[in-house]
Amino acid sequence: MVATGCTGGDDGGAATTAAPATTTANTPPTSQAPEQDQSATTLPPATTEALAPITTLRLAAPPDCATNPACADGLARVYGIDVSDLIVPTEPGAPMAAAVLEGAADVGVIFSDDPALDDPSLVQLDDDRTMVAAENIVPVAKMALVSDRGDALRDAIDQVTDSLNDDELRSALAAVRDGTSPEEAARTFAAATGEIDPAADAPIRIGAEAFPTARVLANVYAMGLSARGYPAVVVPIDGFRALEIAYMIDDEIDLSIQYSASLLEYLDGFQGRSSADSAATLSALRELLALAEYEAFAASPLQSRNTFVMRKDIAEANGIANLSDLIPLAPPADVAPAPGDLPELQDPFAIFGPGDLRIGSVGPEVRELQELLSQIDYYGGPLNGIFEEPTRRAVAAFQVDSGSAPDGIVGPITLVALREAVDAGATAITTELSTTGDSSGNEIHLTFDDGPSGEFTPQILDLLAQYDAKAVFFSIGNQVEGGAELLQRAVSQGHRIGNHTWSHASLDGMSADTFAGEVGRTQDAISAAINETPTCLRPPYGATDDQTRDRAAGLGLSVELWNIDPQDWSRPGVENIVSNVVEHAGPGAVVLMHDGGGNRDQTIAALGQILERLSADGYRFTPIPGC
Ligand SMILES: [Zn+2]
């Protein structure tokens, strides 16, 4: 059922025309009868006919959704709904709304503090069975922090927490979305509470995960504590909760701004101990953290919870107002047994296993480490559970590639990064070696994902032209029509266009139908734009499964990953992007960068320097062979 190219609504559930009767029977008897043409014809591609039961529920959600008790896992457990296809857009908020509005997803998950929720074409589904727990913002630190710095620090932290409010946070996030830095947005936010007077010594290091709310809040606490006599700095973290906790354990940060329910569930192994009761959730979290001598300070009333949205016209036409209204329409989940008595609380940091592994360590943990390293081709030695020089070298090589100090010792940060690498791109390294081919020459293959972008793609094309560099642009299908001229210009300059799915969906575990919609539809759109059909597919997040290659091959596509990832999407600073690429560059290397998906000013500034330095080293820039 590849879309025939007319409107956006003809993939997904609409093709299963089987049983309209079911729908009618299950809609509530309100005055809004679910007749097809009842709803206002406000939206252009409106497919407001009654939904037939759907074989796949496509959910656009943040990266942690699969295991989040307030997301896919919760929909199965609490509502008995199976989320068959998870679509994880590049950034939270607006891209989720876009996926729902243009029909790539049936339901979207947006944080309750996100300005994208205000779109009048979206409707928020009521969580009528209380799946989403109380999710208050709560600062967490080792107890030693307060004993070192004195009890007045707790007051200072509590005062900053008290100053948080929903309106200020929302406007700060709206400013960040419009290009203001999190620091600037936080300055406006913090200015409401006290003068900002940065002092000098021994700053308190506050972790900031890689999403806008976390960056803004970390800056608000840093400024608020500084103003109260506790100099504080923000430590940006290129990852999410697991990595931030690892930073905390390794003493790379002192204070972490968390969400009460999510942190409780994460540390407790998703036992379902959080609830809609804020106080009960916080007290369970404190009890758990105390076992490992960590402290959760007072929580803010401010929450940031998963909120489920649908297109308003579709929801209204089908009488869907609550999450439970989806049950008769959505595929049923294998319902997990209802949680009985909760197990006793355990040391929450046991998830990181025993202490550091290093030369001389022996045992099953070392064997597991060797298996992880070998899965992504860093280790080819015996899986014998003995940490000797070959294991140390493999660890150090991985640490270099993941951007941490190559000390050859496996602490929590390395372990988290390693598990994430295995989960996200298990096939990355073997594939890139087989696709790049020529490792003896002087060619480097630049790639740009997530475009085309009217603002950033032209600047990148200009820079590439200055160095006679040819690249591959992996385009997102739903941006192709609006960016057709950019793609034509790229092709006329000698660049190649590849497929990066219709809505930046993770292809891992995806059904065949959705794959056809995501990848096949993008092939059609690109062919229409440039008169050539792409031959290369870049899976978002590098995520693939056993079927991805075969399905791609069926559409004439080879799967192309990368081996240099400077994480430019996370805006780590121009210097970081440049040094990451230049230091890892070698013949046949494939570099991942982005011309869309957010503000790319850093990418563009870095690209100029990268082209300059690598050209001077004698490299030429050519498309990935075969793309
Ligand atoms: Zn991408």
* Domain 443-621 coded CATH 3.30.590.10: no
90 Cα: distance to centroid of ligand 1 (angstroms): 6
Residues by chain with Cβ below 5 Å of ion ligand 1: 449-450, 540
Contacts of 427 by beta carbon, 8 Å cutoff, 6+ apart = 542, 544, 561
505 CA to centre of ligand 1 in angstroms: 9
Nearest residue to 251 via CA among 358, 178, 356 = 356
Per-residue CA distances from 527 to 102, 364, 441, 513 (Å): 20, 52, 32, 20
618 — pLDDT class (breaks 50, 70, 90): very high
pTM for this prediction: 0.57
Helices 166-177 + 182-191 axis angle, to 10:
150
Strands 620-621 and 443-451: parallel
d(CA 320, CA 315) in angstroms, rounded, equals: 5
> Which residues are catalytic, by number?
449, 594
Q: State the distance from the centre of ligand 1 to the C-alpha of 369, rounded, in angstroms.
A: 29
User: DSSP per residue over 36-73, as a string?
Assistant: GGGS---STT---SPPPP-S--EEE--TTGGG-TTTHH
* Residue 436 pLDDT level (bands cut at 50, 70, 90): very low
Nearest 5°: phi and psi at 525?
-65, -40
Q: Please state which CATH class domain 362-423 belongs to.
A: mainly alpha
Q: Judge contact between 530 and 487, C-beta under 8 A.
A: yes
For the segment 367-377, the average pLDDT, to the nearest whole number, is 89
- Topology match between the domains 137-296 and 362-423: no
- Better pLDDT: 455 or 436: 455
Contacts of residue 350, Cβ cutoff 8 Å, sequence gap at least 6: none
For the segment 97-152, what is each residue's pLDDT rounded down to a tens digit? Answer: 988 998 889 999 998 888 889 899 999 999 999 899 888 999 999 888 888 888 88
Phi, psi for residue 475 in degrees, rounded to 5: -95, 150
> Domain segments of the chain: what residues?
137-296, 362-423, 443-621
If you average pLDDT over residues 271-281, what whole number do you get? 91
- Residue-wise pLDDT for 500-542, tens only, equals 999 888 788 788 888 999 999 999 999 999 999 999 999 987 7
CATH superfamily of 137-296: Dipeptide-binding Protein; Domain 3 (3.10.105.10)
Cα–Cα distance, 103 to 521 (Å, whole number): 13
Q: In whole numbers, what is the pLDDT of the chain averaged over residues?
A: 82
Q: Which residues are CB-contacts of 121 (< 8 A; sequence separation ≥ 6)?
A: 42, 43, 101, 311, 312, 313
Average pLDDT estimate for 602-618: 96
Residue 447 Cα to ligand 1 midpoint, Å, equals: 11
Query: Token digits for 618?
Result: 């004698």
Q: Rounded distance, CA 345 to CA 287, Å?
A: 8
Q: Please give the backbone phi and psi of residue 170, each rounded to the nearest 5 degrees, phi first.
A: -60, -45
Measured in angstroms, how far is the CA atom of residue 169 from the centroid of ligand 1?
27
